[in-house]
Structure formats: C-alpha cells, structure tokens
Amino acid sequence: MNITTRFAVWLHEFKARIQPNTRLFKLIRKAEYRLGTALSLEDIRSIVELFRELESPITFRYLTVFLSVGLASIVWIILIAVNMADAHGWVGQKLPSPYFVLQDAILVCVTVSAASVVFRLRSHRRAFDALSSDLHRRYAYLLHGIKTAPVKDDLAGLAKHFAEFRRGDTGRVLSNKVVGSYQGDTHKLSFTYYRFRYVKCTSDGENTSKQEYERFALINEFPPVGNVLIRGDHRAQPKVIVITLFGDDSGIEREPKKQVPERYTSSSSAFNKRFNIFGSTKIACARLLKPITTLTLLEKTASLERLNMQFADERLCMSFDNKDMLHFTTYTTLHNPEAMLEEMQGGIDNYRIPLLEHYLKLNHRLACQHDDNFSLPSDKPA
C-alpha cells in the first residue's frame, strides 16, 4: 500500500469519526425546526424518534477538539522553543524580523481556530441539552393542556384590576405567559400564568439606585365576590397597598365614599397574623372569608412565598415569589432516546407539575366554596 492510499484510508477513517458530530448537529437543527411546529404528543415523540438512528448513548465526539487543541499546543511549543533558541543564541545567526511577523500570524490563526472548534462544540452540546428540556417541556404542557402565549399588551388590562401589576415606579414588564384550563369536579377554570418584572427606585438623599424585582402570578376565573386583597407580602407598606388596591388609574367607577379600601380582620388570629385583608367593603371581605375559606387558605398556601391574593373582576390573582410553579422533574435526555420515549409513553404520571396542580386544585376548591349551588354548570361531576 503506497503512501497516497494510506492517506486516503486514514482520511476516510477520520471523516467517519467526526461525521457523527455533523450528523447530530444536523438532526438538532431539524428537531428544533420540527419542535417549533409540533402540535401533538405524537409530533414530539416523532422528533425523539429521529435520534434513534444514531448510536446510543448519543454524545458529541471530541476528536476534532483534541486534534485542534493538540495541534495548537504543538505549534505553540515549537515556536516558543525557536524563540528561546534565538534569544540564547543557540542558532548560528539571528532570525530575520519577517519571521516574527509570520510567527505571530501563525499563532493567532492556530489559537483562534482551536478556540472556535471548542466553542462551536460547546454551543452544539448546549443546544442538544436545551433540546431535551424543550421537548420534555412541550410534552408536559401538551399533556396538561397548557401552552405559551404572546404577552402583547396584557399589562395595562391587568394593572387596571390587580394591585400586583401596579408595583414599581420606573419600569414594569410581563416576560412570560402560559395559558391553560383546569377541569375540576364542578368547574372548568381557565387560568393564565405570568412572569412579571418591575423596577423600583430607592433614594438615600444623594444617590438614587434602581432595584429590579421579579414576581409570578397565577390568574384564574372565580365567582364574583367583590374586590378583596389578601396580602401576605409584608414588604409593601399598608399605605402603598391602600393607594394601589384600586389605584387612581383603575378606571373603575365607585361611589366617592368607597375610594379607600377598608381594612378587615378575620375571626382567625393565625390568619390575621399571616395576612392583611383589604376590601372594597367589609361585607365583601366577610362574605369571602367564610371559616372554610379562611382555613383552606391558611393550610394550603404555605408553600408560596410572599403570597398576595386579589379577588377582582370575577378573577382570582395569586402572586408570589416562587419561580418553580411550572417545575416538573424528568429523568431522561436525548442522550438515550429509547429511555426518553419510554418516559414519554408513561404519560401524565411522569410529567406531574406538583405546584401548579396543587394551586389549581386549591383555586377550584375556593371557587366551589363561593359559587351558586343552585346554578352550577352541571348537576353531576364531570
């Protein structure tokens, strides 16, 4: 076998070794595109099935990285050795100055190309990991009948009714929106989940600093109970809440006497210790805070930090600091498509969203406590 043939064989083997990276990357791009248009569970599973054709466990090959970094290192070592020899006079004559220009150019080229190979592979690996979680997320959302939606200009409408969305003084923005519906025994409740960010300015006389805060809100339909705010976020001063409960820009027509919300205390000291209650009228608060409602809210909302609940506009807005309302746990990735498909086939039991499910169930329970028992959607549970 002559040298040309040997080189051709080596090149072929080399290409075969680095080809899986190219194939995997092409598959990732294809999967990302298909995920964007996927509408059903089948669609998602078919995307995972694309990866079955690759040898499991699927990983990126690091051969090109090793080669490029190794080559760059060898070049660096050689050039450093040449420079040292030149500096110590080991070589008979001094190297000409154009050599150093050429040397710098070679160093830059070799380093940049090695770095680009490393970073490109890293970004591909990240895309691969992100794709696994995106597939799981879409699958979980489809199973639970929820989907992301554009935020549009929701903030103005929300701020009109809910004090939570009038927080901040220099900036407010809704960054995420997820919509869905919950089918309980009696009611079907449509819900929306928002991620809300606002900026507050604080001044110590000389300097003004801006602080950014993040809040999350779960809003769902609720029987009409008047406008009542149950505040567990004690960062906000009562005065601020009093002003912002309805707000001057609310546009709600009210009798002049009812401009300022009334403070109410429930019959449970434990509830009063945890929450402050404000409402359009004390009667509205008293009607809402039946003993069963008081007890339910006290016992079932402990997992939410700085929880505020506002009942207004025939909706309930629960706002809190917890970031993990939509969190679910999965155990597989695209590294093993077979296992991932098996987990997906397990259905909703493998994709529980515990916090969301708990609070939707709670809100349904609260809605049942305040609905009209004589005009329910159906006589028999669905």
Q: How far is the CB of 300 from another protein (least distance, A)?
A: 13
3-state secondary structure string across 303-317: CCCCCEEEEECCEEE
What are the residues facing 193 on neighbouring strands? 178, 218
**Residues 55, 40, 377: CA angle, nearest 5 degrees:** 150
Residue placing its CB nearer to another protein in the complex, 74 or 376: 376
- Examine residue 290 and tell whether it contacts another protein (CB under 8 A): yes
Give the three-state DSSP class for 173.
strand
Q: How far is the CB of 184 from another protein (least distance, A)?
A: 14
Residue placing its CB nearer to another protein in the complex, 294 or 310: 294
- Examine residue 379 and tell whether it contacts another protein (CB under 8 A): yes
Residue placing its CB nearer to another protein in the complex, 185 or 249: 185
218 burial type by CB count under 10 A (0-12 exposed, 13-18 middle, 19+ buried):
buried
Q: Which of residues 253-282 bind another protein (CB under 8 A)?
A: 267-270
Residue keyed to tokens 């309980």 = 184
- Examine residue 295 and tell whether it contacts another protein (CB under 8 A): yes
Q: Which of residues 84-103 bind another protein (CB under 8 A)?
A: none
Q: Are the CB atoms for 191 and 219 separated by under 8 Å?
A: yes
Q: Are the CB atoms for 213 and 235 separated by under 8 Å?
A: no
Residue placing its CB nearer to another protein in the complex, 59 or 296: 296
Q: Are the CB atoms for 262 and 278 separated by under 8 Å?
A: yes
Query: Cα(279)–Cα(281) distance, rounded to whole angstroms?
Result: 5
Binding mask 323-362 for another protein (x = CB under 8 A): ----------------------------------------
Q: How far is the CB of 379 from another protein (least distance, A)?
A: 5
**Which span (76-84, 165-173, 193-201, 374-382) binds another protein, by CB under 8 A?**
374-382
Q: How far is the CB of 295 from another protein (least distance, A)?
A: 4
Q: Are the CB atoms for 195 and 175 separated by under 8 Å?
A: yes
Residue keyed to tokens 């001094």 = 94
Summarize as ranges the residues that interact with another protein (CB under 8 A): 267-270, 290-292, 294-296, 369, 373-376, 379
